[in-house]
Amino acid sequence: MKHNRKIMSFLAPVTLITLIIIIWQAACTLLHVSEHILPSPSAIAVAFKNDFAGSILPDTFVSLRIMMSGYLIAIPLGFIIAALASQSRFITRMILPVLIILMMIPMATLVPELKLFLGVKPSLKILVIILQTAPVIAVNSLSGFTHVPQNKVDLMKGLGCGKPETFFRVVLPNALPQIFTGLKLGCILCMIAATAADMSVGQGGLGYRIARSATFSATSTAFAAIIVAAVIGVAFYMLVSLVESIVIKWKQ
């Protein structure tokens, strides 16, 4: 039964994607849609074959490097903010609105202002990713830290355990589902922020390739880069989900 569910969970999205590609190809062919406006899947495949090694692949490596740098900084930063804020209700009430505001702001809109202070360099892209990703990790982690069953905390106090031991033995394990929710949302925002930063800052990356290709009406190449970015985002999300299934075995 469990094996059948896994097969269905794989076949369902594959079937939908296949149908979308078939309808997309048929519509472009029958309606004679210009490739400069909406390229057909076959045209995108040709552009992918011709441009992958020369332009898309190098830009993919640039985006991956920037994404991983920003995400790996955002994880401990968000976790530390949440862990410290959870120790006091006053700090939680003080910092939570700021985190929510940061979550609501598309960080790519701040790139022009940030350029004035940091200049045009890769560290600006990393900062954009951190600012977009760390708040969502912090908010979800904070929610987990502050919603632990009180009877478990009281039991640890009754056993003479201090705050650090209570945190690592009770609070952290109970908060893991919310923490991983934040990590999964964070990896989605990481991909979005990296692509947007590439478009605004330049200096390579998939977002830069998409913007540059669209500027010169190489729409097929732009769509090929978009698909690569989407595949990376999905793979990133699945990797975090895999780690979650290993770490939180009791959730299965």
Q: Tell me the two tokens of residue 153.
A: 């905390």
Residues 6 or more apart whose Cβ sits within 8 Å of residue 249: none
Query: Is 22 inside a domain boundary?
Result: no
187-222: b or e for each residue (b if 16 or more CB lie within 10 Å)?
Answer: bbbbbbbbbbbbbbbeebbbbbbbbbbbeeebbbbb
**Helix or strand run (H / E) with residue 148:** none
Looking at residue 77, what is its pLDDT? Answer: 94
Total residues belonging to the chain: 252
Nearest to 131 by CA among 91, 79, 78, 173: 78
Per-residue confidence (pLDDT) for residue 102, from 0 to 100: 84
Question: Does residue 88 fall inside a structural domain?
Answer: yes
Q: Is residue 165 one of the residues assigned to a domain?
A: yes
Range of the domain at 99: 50-251
Q: Write the CATH number for 172.
A: 1.10.3720.10
| 141 assigned to some structural domain | yes
Residue 103 domain flag? yes
Cβ atoms of 92 and 83 closer than 8 Å: no
Rounded to two decimals, what is the model's pTM? 0.83
Which pLDDT does position 3 carry in this prediction? 62
- Asked if residue 104 is part of any domain, the answer here is yes
What local confidence, expressed as pLDDT, does residue 39 receive? 87
Query: Running along the chain, 252 residues long, what does each successive block of 10 average in pLDDT?
Result: 67 85 89 84 88 86 90 93 86 87 80 74 85 92 82 66 72 84 90 86 83 85 90 90 81 51
- Number of structural domains found in the chain: 1
Q: 236 vs 68, 97, 240, CA distance in Å? A: 10, 28, 6
Whether 45 maps to a domain, the answer reads no
Buried b (16+ CB within 10 A) or exposed e, 74-106: bbebbbebbbebbeeeeebeebbeebeebbeee
Has residue 190 been placed in a domain? yes
